Structures are given as structure tokens and as C-alpha cells.
Amino acid sequence: MLPSNQKWFTEICKEAGYGVSWSIESHLAHEKTDFQTIDVYQTTHWGKMMVIDGFVMLTTRDNFLYHEMMSHPTLFSHPNPRRVLVIGGGDCGTLREVLRHSEVERCTQVEIDEQVTRLAEKHFPELCESNDDPRAELIFDDGLAHIRNTEPGSLDVIIVDSTDPIGPAEGLFGPEFVADCYRALADGGIFVQQSESPLLHQHLIAGIRDNMEKAGFSDIKTLGFPQPCYPSGWWSATQACKNGELKPADPARFQASAIKTRYYNPEVHRGALATTMP
């Protein structure tokens, strides 16, 4: 039993009349940047926890679910993902998972707020272990401007690992941005965007899929997966393929890759593709 004076951090999801709380041991960091407010806490049961503008971004205990599902379903769907762009992803966990794939020749991460990465390096060093990989390029800039200036057809995969569609991430959910991503991808390229909770945010997911369809993507799939630290405990990533088809991972390719995962595997991938959104 927790002591009566135990401190708690609570995230409120007003639109769903819902909240979730963590018991806190200590407050490790507080940074107010030009873009947002970032806090890091030590929890009693979930390891360290990063919070941005009052919303939980990740915990030590369950971040592997999100990072694996934002990266591996897309990279194993693409036949040869050599050139990858991550927009957002400042904690660098998605970058780490991308670089587990030996086919990747370059992964550029464009994060608008450098302090997210610096705090991750200090408090979540396990997520940043690939930051010095020679294939990694870390850019601290506006992702919207970066994709507008990207050479057409120059990328195989674009991963949008963003915060909720408010503040600096709001533009990443707009139709103009999705159209710019379509232009930057080569034929057969795959675009994937974190798309919130299938239980609480169906309207947002519908809008994301509509933007992708209007941009010209030929195949669109929304994959659901568990994510206990996010509202409802159920999260999603929405994929779109340019002039191609989204397919589950080939088990032989997955085995040959020798990539060690904690949640993702070809069976999970196939099941996520089969999930019907509410």
C-alpha cells in the first residue's frame, strides 16, 4: 500500500471524461523552452516518465510498445527501406528501432525542440544509444519546413512521431503536410503517422486517413496496439503507401534480420492489420 502522503501525477483527457495517474517519487527535471514545457519524473512503478505540456510522452516501462510499432511494421512492409526520415521523435526511441534495420543507409530525425533530445540523453540513455550511429542525422528544426524543402521522390519511409495535434505538432496533422510527404516519397514509399487512440479519437483517425487519401496514397491501414501510458491504453499508427501495397512482414525476413523485439513480430503485425477500428 502506498503511504497516505504519496504524490501523484494525473493526466486528464477532458473530451473522454477520463484520467490516469502515476505515483511519483521525485521530480527530476523541469524545462520551459520556446515551444513547450517539459518535465521528467521518477515514478514508483513505471521508471522515469517524460511529460510535455501536461501530457505523458513516455515511460521507461512501456515505451517499447510505441517505438516498435511506429517503426517495424513500416520498415518490414517496405522491400528496401534505405532512406528514412523521422519527424519529431525527440526521445530518439524510434530512431533507435529504425537503425536496427541493416538496409537503412540514412535515418534523418527532425525534431523542433532540441531540449527533448537533451533530456532524453540524460534520463533515457537507452533510447539514445543509436544517436552516434554514422547512419543517423539529428536536425533540430521545423519538420513542416524540412519536408517542404525535401527533394521529390528522395525518401523510402517517413515516420511522423509527434505529440498530440496541439501546439508545435498541430501542423503535422494537416492536409498540406501530408501532400508534401507524398511528394517526398519514392514510388512504393510508406508514410506512417501516430494517430492517437482508436477508442477516443476516431474523428482524428478519420481525418488522417482522409488527408492520406486526398494526397494520392494507394493503400491506407490503421494498426492498433496497447499503450498503457496513453489515454484509454490503446493507441494507433496509420500507414499509407505511395503506388504500392502495405503487406505484413515476411516471417523469414524478420528471422533473418536478427532484430530483437519485445512486442513486435510478424504475427502481431498481421493481427494489427486485421484489427477493425471502432
From the list 39, 113, 161, 164, the catalytic residue is: 161
Active site annotation includes 113:
no
Burial label for 114, CB within 10 Å (0-12, 13-18, 19+), is middle
* Residues 168 and 35: beta-carbon distance below 8 Å: yes
Tell me the three cell numbers of residue 191: 508514410
| 174 alpha carbon, distance to own chain's centre | 17
| 201 alpha carbon, distance to own chain's centre | 16
HEC letters along 115-183: HHHHHHHHHCHHHHCCCCCCCEEEEECCHHHHHHCCCCCCEEEEEEECCCCCHHHHHHHCHHHHHHHHH
Active-site positions read 161
